[in-house]
Amino acid sequence: MVLSPHLPPLHRSQVRIDRSEYERLLLVASKYESLCQHLIRGGVDTDTIEILSKNHDPQDYENDSFNRSGSPDDGQTDSSPTSTVVNYRGRSHSTGGHHYPVRKHTCLAPESDTESEVFSESIISNDRSSLDPDDSASVVATRHSYEQNARRTLQLSDLPPSTSRADVVAVVRGGPVVDIYFNFKEQRVSVSFVHGDHARKYYDYAQASGVYIRGSIINVSWSIRQFILAPYVSQQLRGGASRNLVVRHYDRRITAESIRADLEHIHNLSVINVEFSGLDCYISINSITAASFARTCMMSRLPYKGSRIEWAPDECMKSLGQLKSKIGMRTCMAQTRANLNRFSLLDIGEDRENEFATS
């Protein structure tokens, strides 16, 4: 009879595992350390690695956006959670590179290249100051608590023809936005605020004062399907994330067209606007999740190697009062123009008529 060797008792902070399991854990740790080092060399910051390394319940990924399967309000028939592969190319316009799986959230309505470049003729002009970080009213959200199931999604419908993405964003004010879903085929847009109270205030304002795009009033209502804020998005918000990016000290060879080309492979990402101001380049994107992928992608690309890519303020955080004042100003101008008589220059006046009559 062979007696097993006596094993010393374990301390409560110790565990006993097989050697094969121990060696496997060492291998996993070594691979993870090597992967992190390569990502950091490629431009990925430690905060992004920390977020991506955390375990998330699969339910979180299913709830981080709209589940549009069979939705009566959009007509989509195939919106089940699927996966697609995004090619994060190491060099600009190259074909090689690593592949990272990215969840397919939903399907954007197709938009032509010319439509995205249409100059915003909304009641609020899409000027450079809309993305100016010096604007005290446009500060990136830093709240530490975010409600997951808040009523935060509004539907903007009855959009006038030729409405651009910039037109829509120009009339959304009152708080930071987490996601904008464009469906120009049905002339409607779903706008999801980070905080539910901001969505409610915008809704109340729209019902009281009206919201106009290109001189036409649009309909603002609560969406049937509400955007659910996933835990990893809340984590990004706590780190200062927004749907806008700023490239500090950008390479002068970079253009708006090249930026759009570099990001076009990211599913569900829509570049709303690109503005150059001094040494910085501001990029407005349709959602925080898409902006996060764009930031990681750009940091690994050669044209942006010498630049810092940071979160930029969301212009939607500007006050509703500013929207109201500009609407009032434009309405006043429109009424003044409508009251002008184009034949007034031909009017000789009553006094002149009397003068001719008595002569």
Q: Is residue 305 part of a domain?
A: yes
User: With 0-12 CB in 10 A as exposed, 13-18 as middle and 19+ as buried, what is 99?
Assistant: exposed
pLDDT at 253: 92
Give the pLDDT of residue 342.
Answer: 52
Residue 114 lies inside a defined structural domain of this protein = yes
The verdict on residue 197 lying in a domain is: yes
pLDDT tens track for 220-235? 999 999 999 999 899 8
Residue 78's domain is classified under what CATH number?
3.30.70.330
Q: How many domains does the chain have?
A: 1
User: What's the mean pLDDT in 175-189?
Assistant: 93
Q: State the pLDDT confidence band at 166, using cuts at 50, 70 and 90.
A: very high
Task: Please write the tens of the pLDDT for every residue from 75-123.
Answer: 443 333 333 333 333 333 333 333 333 333 333 333 333 333 333 333 3
25 located within any domain: no
Residue 357 domain flag: no
Domain residue limits at 72: 31-334
CA distances from 52 to 39, 76, 90, 194, 258 (A): 12, 30, 20, 21, 27
Residues in CB range of 258: below 8 A, 6 or more apart = 92, 303
Q: Hey, what are 193's tokens?
A: 């605020």
Predicted TM-score (pTM) of this structure:
0.56
Is 172 part of a structural domain of the chain? yes
Tell me whether residue 245 is in a domain.
yes
The mean of the pLDDT values for the chain is 73
210 within 8 A of 196, measured Cβ to Cβ: no
Please tell me the least confidently modeled range out of 86-95, 213-222, 260-269: 86-95
